[in-house]
Amino acid sequence: MMHASLYRPGNSVLHRLPAGLKLSVLLAAGGCSILVRTPTQTTTALGCVLLGYVVARVPARAVLQSLRPLLWVILALGLFQALIMGWPRAFVIVGVIVALVLLANLVTLTTRTNDLVDVVVRLSRRVRLLGMRPESIGLMLSLAIRAVPLVAELAARVREAQQARGHTISPRAFAVPLILGALRRADEIGDALAARGYDD
Amino acid sequence: MLIDINDVSHRYPGRAKPVVDDLSVRLDERRIAVIGANGSGKSTFARMLNGLVIPSVGSVKIDGLHTSRHGSQIRKKVGFCFTDPDSQIVMPTVAEDVAFGLRRRGWSKAEIAARVHDQLSSYGLDRHAEHAAHLLSGGQKQLLALASILVTEPELLIMDEPTTLLDLRNTRMVADLVSGLPQQVVMVTHDLDLLADFDRVLVFEQTRLVHDGPPAEAVAFYRALMGVDA
Nearest-CB residue to B88 (from A2, A192, A197): A192
pLDDT greater than 70 at residue B9: yes
User: Tens digit of pLDDT for each residue in A113-139?
Assistant: 888 888 888 888 877 777 788 888 888
Q: Is the pLDDT of residue A67 over 90?
A: no
Q: Is A200 on the interface with B (CB under 8 A)?
A: yes
Global ipTM: 0.80
Rounded to whole angstroms, the Cα distance separating B97 from B99 reads 5
Cα A92 to Cα A42: distance, rounded to the nearest angstrom: 6
Please tell me the total number of residues recorded for chain B in this structure.
230
Which residue spans within chain A are E strands per DSSP? Answer: none
Return the pLDDT at B26: 96
Does B67 reach chain A within 8 Å, measured CB to CB?
A: no
Closest by Cβ to B91, choosing from A1, A142, A197: A142
Q: Across-strand partners of B157?
A: B79, B185
- Checking if the pLDDT of A2 tops 60, the result is no
- For the ranges A176-180, B86-90, B113-117, B226-230, the lowest mean pLDDT is seen at B226-230
B19 pLDDT more than 90 = yes
Cα of A81 to nearest chain B Cα, Å = 37
Q: How many other C-beta atoms can be found within 10 angstroms of the C-beta atom of residue B116? A: 24
**Residue B8, strand partner residues:** B23
Whole-number pLDDT of residue A167: 67
- Tens of pLDDT, residue by residue over A129-182, are 777 888 888 888 888 888 888 888 888 888 888 887 776 667 888 889 899 999
In this prediction the pTM is 0.80
In whole angstroms, give the CA distance from residue B199 to residue B145. 25
Residue B184, beta-bridge partner list: B156
Q: Model confidence at A23, in pLDDT bands (50, 70, 90)?
A: very high
**pLDDT at residue A5 tops 80:** no
pLDDT band at A1 (very low <50, low <70, confident <90, very high): very low
Average pLDDT over chain A reads 86
SS3 (DSSP) at B202: strand
Angle between helices B138-150 and B168-179 (to 10 degrees): 20
Provide the 10 A C-beta neighbour count for residue B54: 15
How far apart are alpha carbons B80 and B96 in whole angstroms?
18
* C-beta atoms of A6 and B133 within 8 A: no
- List the strands of the sheet with B57-62, edge to edge: B20-27, B3-10, B57-62, B65-66
> Mean pLDDT, to the nearest integer, of B81-94?
89
Q: Per the CB < 8 Å rule, is B79 touching A113? A: no
Residue B168 distance to chain A (closest CA, Å): 24
How far B176 CA lies from chain A's nearest CA (Å)? 23
Round to whole Å and give the CA distance between B42 and B164: 14
Contact A191/B at CB under 8 A: yes
In this predicted model, which residue has the larger pLDDT, A64 or B160?
Answer: B160
Neighbour order of strands in the sheet with B31-36: B78-81, B156-160, B184-188, B31-36, B200-205, B208-213
Question: For residue A63, what are the CA distances in angstroms to A109, A110, A116?
Answer: 10, 13, 21
User: Residues of chain B with pLDDT > 90: what percent?
Assistant: 65
Q: What is the mean pLDDT of chain B?
A: 91
Average pLDDT over residues A13-32: 93
Q: Is the pLDDT of residue A3 over 60?
A: no
Is the per-residue pLDDT at B150 higher than 90?
A: yes
Mean pLDDT of B48-73: 93
